[in-house]
């Protein structure tokens, strides 16, 4: 089984780190992974997205035109990737910044107030953890515990003091992403 994920937003929203963290967690869980970042020349405010593939077998090609999952952190990302999600796929939307609602009935959509969740725990810069938590609740590609361990192991040293807050944001996002019948 292989799952392709695109995470997209403005530079500075943590899209690339979220994807990198999923890749690290996948490796830690013994899965095959690829992570391809892409970003504009701006340090903050430009576009940034990454493609992550997590699979049980070797990954043939890291390029994804129609992802199984798209995580959209802002409106331009939503507009670009919402129509590209494969039928049966998942769209995770940062509803703090995206007011649009998908009218597709062939995909699952999870609306996560990621900025609001992150601000509750101290800084909106953690919004990426809220959407990753929701993603893993709606599509358990990896166990939440594996991602928590990867976060502790791979959060930069300068951010280690924020580990507990990041874990709380991740867990709150996970709770939001759980299917209604769970």
For every one of its 182 residues, what pLDDT tens digit does the chain have, with 9 covering 90 and above? 899 999 999 988 999 999 999 999 999 999 999 999 997 765 566 789 999 999 999 998 888 999 999 999 999 999 999 999 999 999 999 999 999 999 999 999 999 999 999 999 878 889 999 999 999 999 999 999 999 999 999 888 888 888 999 999 999 999 999 986 44
Identify whether the C-beta of residue 146 lies closer than 8 Å to the C-beta of residue 28: yes
- Residues comprising the chain, all counted: 182
Q: Tell me, yes or no, whether 99 lies in a domain.
A: yes
Q: How far apart are CA 147 and CA 104, in angstroms?
A: 29
**b/e per residue, 132-151, with b = 16+ CB within 10 A?**
bbbbbbbbebbebebbbebb
pLDDT number for residue 45: 63
pLDDT number for residue 156: 84
Task: Read off the tokens for 120.
Answer: 């509750």
The CATH number assigned to the domain holding 44 equals 3.40.920.10
Q: Tell me, yes or no, whether 130 lies in a domain.
A: yes
pLDDT number for residue 41: 64
117 to each of 6, 86, 87, 172, how far by Cα in Å?
A: 21, 28, 29, 7
Q: Tell me, yes or no, whether 29 lies in a domain.
A: yes
pLDDT number for residue 124: 86
Q: Tell me, yes or no, whether 6 lies in a domain.
A: yes
Q: Tell me, yes or no, whether 38 lies in a domain.
A: yes
Q: How far apart are CA 126 and CA 135, in angstroms?
A: 15
Q: How far apart are CA 121 and CA 178, in angstroms?
A: 20
Q: Are strands 108-112 and 90-94 parallel, antiparallel or unpaired?
A: parallel
pLDDT number for residue 85: 98
Q: Residues 11-59: pLDDT tens digits?
A: 889 999 999 999 999 999 999 999 999 977 655 667 899 999 999 999 9
Range of the domain at 92: 2-177
Number of domains in the chain: 1
Q: Tell me, yes or no, whether 182 lies in a domain.
A: no
Strand partners, 72: 8, 93
Residue 118 makes CB contacts below 8 A (sequence gap 6+) with: 124, 125, 126, 127, 129, 130, 169
Q: Tell me, yes or no, whether 147 lies in a domain.
A: yes
pLDDT number for residue 181: 47
Interhelix angle 144-154/163-177, rounded to 10 degrees, is: 160
pLDDT number for residue 2: 95
Q: What's the whole-number average pLDDT of the chain? A: 93
Q: Tell me, yes or no, whether 22 lies in a domain.
A: yes
**For the whole model, what pTM was predicted?**
0.93
Strand partners, 48: 9, 39
Interhelix angle 127-138/163-177, rounded to 10 degrees, is: 40
């Amino acid at each position: 089984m292989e799952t392709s994920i695109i995470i997209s937003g403005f530079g500075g929203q943590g899209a690339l780190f979220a994807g990198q963290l999923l890749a690290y967690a996948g490796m830690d869980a013994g899965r095959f992974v690829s992570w391809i970042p892409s970003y504009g020349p701006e340090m903050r405010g430009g576009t940034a997205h990454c493609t992550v593939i997590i699979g049980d077998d070797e990954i043939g090609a890291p390029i994804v035109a129609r992802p199984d999952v798209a995580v959209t952190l802002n409106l331009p990302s939503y507009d670009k990737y919402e129509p590209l999600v494969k039928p049966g796929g998942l769209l995770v939307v940062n509803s703090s910044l995206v007011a649009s609602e998908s009218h597709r009935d062939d995909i699952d959509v999870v609306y996560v107030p990621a900025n609001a969740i992150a601000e509750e725990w101290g800084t909106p810069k953690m919004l990426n953890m809220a959407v990753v938590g929701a993603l893993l609740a709606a599509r358990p590609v990896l166990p939440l515990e594996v991602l928590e361990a990867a976060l502790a192991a791979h959060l930069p040293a300068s951010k280690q003091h924020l580990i507990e807050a990041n874990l709380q944001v991740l867990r709150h996002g996970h709770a939001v992403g759980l299917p209604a019948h769970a």
